Amino acid sequence: MMRRKHSTLKLHRTFRFLKKKLQKQAGFPIVLLLLALITLWGSFLAIPIAQAKTKPLPSLKPHEKPLRVAAAADLTDAFQDIKIHFEKTTGIHVELIWGASGLLTSQIENGAPYDVFAAADVSFINRLRRQNLILPNSQKAYAQGRIVIAIPINSSTAPKTLYDLTHSPQIKRVGIADPEFAPYGKAAKEALQHQHLWRQIRPKLVYGKNIRDTLSLLQSGNIDAAIIARSLANPHEIHFYPIPASLYTPLNQSIAIPTTSKQKDEAKAFVAYVISRQGQYILQKYGFAVPGDKAWGK
């Protein structure tokens, strides 16, 4: 700053000297005057530039790996919402990996590097816990799912019950998630068996790899109706009709941190957010019952 003031003063003095010289000697070359001014002005401007070059550049932060969250396919919409709010709140980047709970469980058993696992059925988390594959005390109940009958929004038929779904001549193909791997497929099978309709509807059945895949089959027109998770039933895209919860084992959903996690503190923060008031509000928005809710267990 002192150098800048000194240079400014020097510039003014030089300008006054050259002005007097020009007045006394009419023949003083004007070109020399201009060259002198330009040279001095250039050196004046160079001072802050030189000073700026001496300032050290801020060091870049090392790249942080995203938190890898393996989640059941019924959580696709709800966890996308939770991801947005969690990242804004904590600054922790999240990568969501979708799949059927059974397949994700098998992957963790084989060493898949997931930081968090949100299953659609508590039995899969219990299975990992018995093998010491989740951190002690990390298992938390976070939601309870529901199943519904879904049809395209432009469908000419409206099968409101499982009996309608089975016997309607207009419904030729019915999608459910694979009961062997997907809890929502297992719940659909239980509900149909409970009403003695399983054998009758089997010729119509088309299996999706998971509950999200089953919805995609419906949206693409490959099937006429489906039994899907309430959490994926968008009323702007499909019509849906609830299936009584008394017809299937409650879909109690649990979340935990696998022992393979390399970001345990960040994983704990994500689990805490899912079971927080804000996280639970988001889950309810997508049709889940949550612990403490009156609808839980019904």
**Any domain includes 291:** no
**Any domain includes 58:** no
* Res 201: pLDDT: 98
Over 70: is that where the pLDDT of 180 sits?
Answer: yes
Give the total number of structural domains in the chain: 3
Over residues 2-19, mean pLDDT: 47
**Any domain includes 57:** no
Same domain, 217 and 199: yes
Q: Do 224 and 86 form a contact (C-beta atoms < 8 A)?
A: no
Using left for φ > 0, alpha for ψ between -120 and 50, and beta otherwise, residue 196 falls in left
**Any domain includes 173:** yes
Mean pLDDT check: name the lowest of 55-59, 110-114, 198-202, 220-224: 55-59
Same domain, 162 and 119: no
**Any domain includes 59:** no
CATH of the domain at 187: 3.40.190.10
Nearest Cα to Cα of residue 85 among 217, 266, 282: 282
Same domain, 29 and 99: no
pLDDT tens for residues 79-115?
999 999 999 999 999 999 999 999 999 999 999 999 9
Over 70: is that where the pLDDT of 32 sits?
Answer: no
Same domain, 106 and 173: no
Same domain, 222 and 238: yes
Range of the domain at 161: 147-242
CA distances 242 to 157, 229, 264, Å, are 16, 10, 38
Same domain, 266 and 133: yes
Same domain, 205 and 76: no
Element at 143 (helix H, strand E): strand 140-145
Over 60: is that where the pLDDT of 197 sits?
Answer: yes
Radius of gyration of the chain (CA): 34
Q: Would you tell me the crossing angle of helices 264-274 and 277-285 to the nearest 10 degrees?
A: 60
Same domain, 140 and 257: yes
**Any domain includes 236:** yes
Same domain, 159 and 128: no
**Any domain includes 294:** no
**Any domain includes 62:** no
pLDDT tens for residues 52-81?
343 343 333 333 799 999 999 999 999 999
Same domain, 254 and 132: yes
Same domain, 172 and 205: yes
pLDDT tens for residues 245-293?
999 999 999 999 999 999 999 999 999 999 999 999 999 999 999 998 7
| Maximum pairwise Cα distance, the chain | 118
Same domain, 71 and 137: yes
